[in-house]
C-alpha cells in the first residue's frame, strides 16, 4: 500500500527518470504542481503518459494530475473522494470495471523520490523507503478523466500495488509496483493491449531499496518539509545491551544453554553438613548430660580450641557417650556411623575461593 510519498522533482526531470528522452514530450497543467515532502491523495503530481500523434506515432506528455482516481462514469454532482481509489491491486485490475477499461490506453508512470509506510503496533511507526543511490522510484499507474457539474475536466490517477517483497514483509504486506529499468517502463507505458503486462506487475526484489524510521509527526498530512525524511533513533534502539541481557524473559523464551545453573565449585562444609543424617534423640533427654550443658553449648565447645585440657577431655567423653547412645539396637553394632568427612570436599577458611566473575567468563 502506498498512501504517502515524497516528490520534489521538477516536471522537466520526469522523462529522464522514466528512461525517456525529452524529445517529443509536452507539458500539461504543470503550474498546478507543488513539490512536497509529504504528498497525500488529493494532491497534484506530474505523471508521464502516452499521447497519440507526432512523427513517431506517439509522444509522451508530462501531465499534472490529482492523486486518487475518480472514474469517468462518476455522477457529475457527486463530490469526488480521492482516498477511495488512490491505490489499485494489480492482481485484480482486469476484473474491476473502474480499472479494466483503462488498461489498453490509460497506463501512465509516476516518479517520486520515496514513499512512506507505517508499521503496525501499539503505536504506528512511519518508515521512509527509497533507493540507496537516491534515484527516483517509478511506479506503474492508471489514469482517467472526469467532468464535474461545472464542466471542469479533472484528470486523476491511481498507483498499482502488489505483494510486498521479501525484504519488506516485516513492514507491510503490500507495496507499490516499482518499475526498476527501461525495459519495464517501456512495456508498461508503450506495450500493446495484448502484451503480457503481468510480467512487470510484481514485487521489487532488488537489493538497492533502503528504509529507515522517521518522525511520527508524519501521521499529519499537513506536516511538510525536509524534516519528513529525517532519520530518527527508535527508543528500543537506545537501550543499553546489558539492560536487554538482564531484562525479564517471557515464559516461552528458552533459557540460554551457556548459562551455568549450578556451581559445583561452591561446595562448602555447610553443603556437606546438610547431607549428614543426625541420629534421633528421645524427647526430654539431654545430650552430654554429664557435662550439664545444652546441645548448642556443647557443639560450641567441641568446635572451638580452648587451652584448658579438662574441657577437651570432657568434650571427648561426652561425644563418645553420644555415639554409644545413637548406635542402632538391631545387632548391627559393627556398622559404624558414617560421620567422616572427606577433607577434599571441604575448603578451609584460608583456601582461595572462586570468584563469581570466573563463572560468567566460562563459555
User: Which triple of cell numbers denotes residue 36?
Assistant: 512536497
pLDDT score, position 232: 96
Q: Of 226, 207, 215, 228, nearest to 133 (Cα)?
A: 207
Pair 252, 266: CB distance under 8 Å = no
pLDDT score, position 319: 52
pTM summary value: 0.65
pLDDT score, position 136: 97
Residues of the chain with pLDDT under 70: 1, 53-58, 193-194, 237-363
pLDDT score, position 309: 44
pLDDT score, position 323: 54
Active-site residue among 5, 7, 113, 117? 117
Q: Strand 87-89 vs strand 44-52: parallel, antiparallel, or unpaired?
A: unpaired
Q: E strands within the chain?
A: 4-7, 26-28, 36-39, 44-52, 58-67, 87-89, 107-112, 114-119, 125-131, 137-147, 153-163, 174-176, 209-213
pLDDT score, position 24: 82
Whether 117 is a known active-site residue: answer yes
Report the residue count for the chain. 363
Active-site residue among 2, 18, 64, 108? 2
pLDDT score, position 21: 82
Task: Give the torsion sign (CA, 10, 11, 13, 14).
Answer: positive
Whether 2 is a known active-site residue: answer yes
Query: Rounded to an integer, what distance in angstroms lies between the CA atom of residue 117 and that of residue 128?
Result: 7
Residues forming beta bridges with residue 44, ordered by sequence position: 66
Amino acid at each position: 500500500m502506498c498512501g504517502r510519498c515524497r516528490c520534489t522533482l521538477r516536471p522537466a526531470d520526469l522523462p529522464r527518470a522514466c528512461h525517456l528522452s525529452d524529445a517529443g514530450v509536452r507539458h500539461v497543467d504543470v503550474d498546478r504542481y507543488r513539490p512536497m515532502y509529504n504528498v497525500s491523495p488529493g494532491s497534484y503530481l506530474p505523471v508521464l503518459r502516452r499521447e497519440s500523434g507526432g512523427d513517431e506515432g506517439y509522444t509522451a506528455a508530462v501531465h499534472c494530475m490529482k492523486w486518487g482516481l475518480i472514474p469517468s462514469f462518476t455522477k457529475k454532482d457527486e463530490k469526488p473522494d480521492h482516498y477511495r481509489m488512490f491505490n489499485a491491486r494489480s492482481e485484480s485490475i482486469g476484473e474491476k470495471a473502474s480499472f479494466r477499461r483503462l488498461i489498453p490506453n490509460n497506463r501512465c508512470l509516476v516518479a517520486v523520490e520515496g514513499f512512506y509506510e507505517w508499521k503496525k503496533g501499539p503505536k504506528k511507526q512511519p518508515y521512509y523507503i527509497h533507493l540507496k543511490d537516491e534515484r527516483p522510484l517509478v511506479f506503474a499507474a492508471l489514469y482517467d478523466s472526469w467532468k464535474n457539474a461545472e464542466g471542469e475536466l479533472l484528470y486523476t490517477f491511481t498507483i498499482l500495488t502488489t505483494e510486498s517483497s521479501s525484504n519488506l514483509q516485516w513492514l507491510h504486506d503490500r507495496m507499490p509496483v516499482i518499475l526498476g529499468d527501461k525495459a519495464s517502463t517501456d512495456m508498461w507505458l508503450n506495450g500493446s493491449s495484448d502484451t503480457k503486462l503481468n510480467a512487470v506487475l510484481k514485487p521489487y526484489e532488488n537489493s538497492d531499496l533502503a528504509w529507515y524510521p522517521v518522525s511520527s509527526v508524519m501521521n499529519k498530512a499537513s506536516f511538510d518539509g525536509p524534516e519528513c525524511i529525517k532519520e530518527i533513533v527508535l527508543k528500543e534502539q537506545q537501550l543499553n545491551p546489558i539492560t536487554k541481557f538482564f531484562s525479564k524473559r517471557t515464559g516461552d523464551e528458552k533459557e540460554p544453554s551457556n548459562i551455568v545453573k549450578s556451581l559445583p565449585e561452591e561446595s562448602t562444609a555447610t553443603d556437606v553438613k546438610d547431607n549428614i543424617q543426625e541420629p534421633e534423640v528421645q524427647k526430654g533427654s539431654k545430650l552430654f548430660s554429664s557435662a550439664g550443658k545444652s546441645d548448642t553449648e556443647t557443639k560450641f565447645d567441641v568446635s572451638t580450641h580452648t587451652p584448658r585440657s579438662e574441657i577437651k577431655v570432657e568434650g571427648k567423653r561426652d561425644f563418645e557417650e553420644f555415639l554409644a547412645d545413637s548406635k542402632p539396637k538391631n545387632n548391627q553394632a559393627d556398622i559404624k556411623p558414617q560421620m567422616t568427612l572427606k577433607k577434599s570436599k571441604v575448603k578451609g577458611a584460608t583456601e582461595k575461593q572462586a570468584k563469581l566473575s570466573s563463572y560468567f567468563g566460562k563459555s
